């Protein structure tokens, strides 16, 4: 019976096709977005009551994430393999900063900004309540990766610089602006870090921007050109909608494609 329960829990925590699996993962995705929004809101000048309420809400979300992580670990068939997997590490980094922060190791709390990376697991062909094509999945992953990297860097630079450079890094938007102009190598110079950690993060931002952004944007353009050169030939077997103009068989399942009638010129 325990084995059955483990398998059932593991299935629903990773499933994006059944209503129950979709609902569970939809709630988790919403909580990730909500917790990330709380981090951003806390950088602004809000009332003490609002700050206490957001703190309490974030604590509740964190305990939900902790329970989810323990369930994933408990239901995993190969616990060691799961523990060292990419998503497990991201999940762990999302909850560890709170518990370590209780003993005032503040630097570790920087990892809380990585929580948004948890959304990567939801960008799949079965994207929550609707299906998307393989090319759309790639588009979504590229765009989200770019946004997530900028978001994480913005959170880190804000956390490091705000205590000693609050005039330049007053809110998350200031940090976000700095991250964008730094990673795109525009570098207006109107906002600059003063701490050693801030300068080190800026170096990493520049290196990331030089190495990653052109590659990701280039891949995005190639995918866009590839999609624009395709025509709509819906496969009657698997439902894949777009294929090369001269394709006779489906590139996914190999079934014969219907002929596309061309309208007279």
Q: Which CATH number is 166's domain given?
A: 1.10.287.70
- How many CA within 13 A on the CB side of residue 203? 7
The residue range of the domain holding 259 is 233-264
pLDDT per residue as tens, the chain (265 positions): 444 578 888 888 877 777 888 788 888 888 888 988 998 998 899 999 999 999 899 889 889 989 989 998 998 888 888 888 888 888 887 787 777 655 444 445 556 667 777 777 776 655 544 556 666 777 777 788 888 888 889 988 998 999 899 889 999 999 999 999 998 888 787 888 999 989 999 999 999 888 877 777 777 677 666 666 666 677 877 777 667 767 778 877 888 887 754 444 4
Distance CA 151, CA 153 (A): 6
Given this model, what pLDDT does residue 256 score? 80
End position of a domain, from candidates 124, 141, 166: 124
Name, in order, each residue with C-beta under 8 angstroms of 206's C-beta and a sequence gap of 6 or more: 182, 183, 185
DSSP 28-53: HHHHHHHHHHHHHHTTS---HHHHHH
What percent helix, strand, coil does the chain show, rounded to 5? 65, 5, 30
Q: Note whether 257 and 235 are within 8 A (CB).
A: yes
Same domain? For 4 and 107 the reply is: yes
**Structural element, H or E, at residue 253:** none
End position of a domain, from candidates 124, 156, 185: 124
DSSP-derived 3-state class of residue 131:
strand
Same domain? For 50 and 164 the reply is: no
Same domain? For 225 and 237 the reply is: no
Given this model, what pLDDT does residue 134 score? 64
Same domain? For 208 and 257 the reply is: no
Work out how many domains the chain is built from and give that number. Answer: 3
Same domain? For 26 and 106 the reply is: yes
End position of a domain, from candidates 69, 102, 124: 124
Same domain? For 116 and 138 the reply is: no
Question: 100 burial class (0-12, 13-18, 19+ CB within 10 angstroms)?
Answer: middle
Distances (CA, A) of 65 to 12, 32, 93, 105, 120: 15, 9, 11, 21, 16
What is this structure's pTM?
Answer: 0.70
Same domain? For 165 and 221 the reply is: yes
**DSSP 8-state class, residue 18:** S
Given this model, what pLDDT does residue 7 score? 82
Same domain? For 2 and 119 the reply is: yes
Domain harbouring 73, CATH code: 1.20.120.350
């Amino acid at each position: 019976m325990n084995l059955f329960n483990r398998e059932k829990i593991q299935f629903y925590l990773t499933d994006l096709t059944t209503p129950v699996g979709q609902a569970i993962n939809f709630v988790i995705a919403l909580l990730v977005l909500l917790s990330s929004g709380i981090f951003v809101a806390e950088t602004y000048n809000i009332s003490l009551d609002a700050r206490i309420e957001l703190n309490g809400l974030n604590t509740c979300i964190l305990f939900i994430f902790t329970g989810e992580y323990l369930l994933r670990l408990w239901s995993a068939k190969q616990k060691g393999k799961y523990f060292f997997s990419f998503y497990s590490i991201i999940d762990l980094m999302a909850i560890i900063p709170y518990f370590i922060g209780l003993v005032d190791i503040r630097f570790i709390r920087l990892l809380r900004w990585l929580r948004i990376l948890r959304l990567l697991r939801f960008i799949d062909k079965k994207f929550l309540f609707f299906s998307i094509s393989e090319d759309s999945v790639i588009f979504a992953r590229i765009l989200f990766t770019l946004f997530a990297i900028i978001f994480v860097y913005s959170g880190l630079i804000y956390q490091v610089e705000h205590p000693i450079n609050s005039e330049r890094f007053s809110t998350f938007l200031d940090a976000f602006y700095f991250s964008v102009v730094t990673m795109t190598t525009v570098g207006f110079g109107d906002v600059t870090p003063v701490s050693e950690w801030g300068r080190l993060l800026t170096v990493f931002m520049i290196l990331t921007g030089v190495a990653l952004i052109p590659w990701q944007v280039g891949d995005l353009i190639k995918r866009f050109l590839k999609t624009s050169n395709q025509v709509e030939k819906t496969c009657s077997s698997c439902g894949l909608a777009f294929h090369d103009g001269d394709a006779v068989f489906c590139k996914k399942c190999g079934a014969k494609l219907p002929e596309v009638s061309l309208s007279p010129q």
